Amino acid sequence: MRSPIYFIVKPLDDKRYTNTKDIDGVDFITSTSEENHMASNRLGVVVSTPLGYNGEIEVGDLLLVHHNVFKFYNDMKGRRQSGKSFFKDDLFFIEDDQFFMYKHNDQWVCHDRYCFVKPVPVEESFIMKLGKEEPLIGIMKYPNKYLSSQGVNSGDKISFKPESEYEFTVDDEKLYRMYDHQITMKL
């Protein structure tokens, strides 16, 4: 079964939500809200690629998807429904703009214009800074092809535009998803 234009995926570990944490062999629920975007599963396993697709993504690879892909919603009458990506059983259609990165051969690769930046701890300064992270500065973790062609590589310290941080957890690490045009300079 293949779609002419969509990737077909299933949620990693067959879970729509990642709202549990294992503590000494006991699963504790960390969020009971189906509306909490931070608790929705963002990893999908590719079941099939689109017809005529000849890119790097293969069956079995992981896609890092938008937080709304696997979530449940309540309709006007309060009935639990799946979102627009739902196909059947535990399968979902993923459009080209609904995923940001894919894991192929144990390597994460950014898709399209997306890149991922690791926040850095606050640096000592004469200026008072709130929070635990340096504002507007980070380490490039996963650049896309365009940024690599411009000399921005993994491990480079960069700055980015305000309000461009969209938080993800990738391999147990906090990262910000950004567009390449939101990276303002290599430091």
pLDDT bin (cut points 50, 70, 90) of residue 36 is low
What is the rounded average pLDDT of the residues 146-167? Answer: 96
In the block, residue with structure tokens 């459009």: 95
The predicted structure's pLDDT at residue 173: 96
Whole-model pTM: value is 0.87
How far apart, in whole angstroms, are the C-alpha atoms of residue 112 and residue 56?
A: 13
pLDDT bin (cut points 50, 70, 90) of residue 3 is very high
Which residue would you say has higher pLDDT here, 15 or 64?
64
Return the ∠ at Cα 150 (arms to 149 and 153), rounded to 5°: 80
How far apart, in whole angstroms, are the C-alpha atoms of residue 39 and residue 131?
A: 23
Residue from 112, 119, 114, 104 nearest 169 by CA: 119
Q: Which of 19-23, 95-99, 126-130 has the highest mean pLDDT?
A: 95-99
Q: What sign results for the dihedral spanned by CA atoms 94, 96, 167, 58?
A: positive
For 99-136, the pLDDT digits (tens) are: 999 999 999 999 999 999 999 998 887 777 788 899 99
What is the rounded average pLDDT of the residues 11-33? Answer: 82
The predicted structure's pLDDT at residue 58: 96
Q: Output the average pLDDT for the chain.
A: 91
Give percent of the chain with pLDDT exceeding 70. 97
For 51-80, the pLDDT digits (tens) are: 989 999 999 999 999 988 998 888 899 898
The predicted structure's pLDDT at residue 28: 83
